[in-house]
Structure 1
C-alpha cells in the first residue's frame, strides 16, 4: 500500500550518489515528518538524480544542470504539501539571497 504523498528520489548507482540521495531523503523526512507519507529511493543509471512528488518532477539534475540545494527542495515540497508552513532558516536564506546576496 502506497502512502500519500509519495516522494521519490531516483539516483544513479554508477555515479555512487546513494549517500547524497540518503542525505536528501533524511533532510526532507526530518522537515516533513507528518506530511510525507513515503520516501522511495530508486536506483538507476545514466547520471540521473530526479526528485518527484506524487509523480511530478520537482528537480531533475540533467534538466537543471546540477543538484538542487536542500533549502530549495524543502521550499518546493512545502509549497505542494504544506503551503502555510514556515521553514525557518530555509525561508530566511532565500529572502536574504534576493535582497543583498548575503
Structure 2
C-alpha cells in the first residue's frame, strides 16, 4: 500500500495516556480538511511526547512549545501548508 499525501502524524505518549487527546485532534483535523489530507497516523511514543508532523515537518512539539496546541492554531498551521487560500471560518486568524 502506498502512502497518501499529505500525511499528518500525531505522536503521543502512551505513558501519559494521551491517546484520547491524539484521537480527538486527528478527528478535528480530518473533519476540517476532508479532501486535503491524505492520511492521519497516530504514533505511540513515550516520555511525554505530543508531536504533530506534516509530511515529516514538525508543526508542533509539546516539549518545544511548552504545552498542547490550541486547535485553532494547529488548524492554521496545517492550512498554511496544504491549502493556504482556504478560509477556516471562525477558527481563522484575526488580522
Q: Which TM-score tier does this pair reach, normalised by the shorter chain?
A: over 0.9
Structure 1 segments unaligned to the other structure (5+ residues) = none
| 1:52 and 2:82 aligned | no
Q: Alignment partner of 1:66: what SS?
A: coil
Q: Which residue of 1 aligns with 2:7?
A: 6
**Structure that is richer in helix per residue:** 1
Scaled by the length of structure 1, what TM-score is found? 0.90
The 5 A counterparts of 1:5-44 are: 5-44=6-45
Unaligned runs of 5+ in 2: none
- 1:68 deviation in Å? 0.4
Q: CA separation in 2, counterparts of 1:35 and 1:90? A: 17
Calculate the TM-score normalised by the size of structure 2: 0.97
Alpha-carbon RMSD across the aligned residues, in angstroms, is 0.8
Misfit runs of 4+, over 4 Å: none
Number of aligned pairs? 94
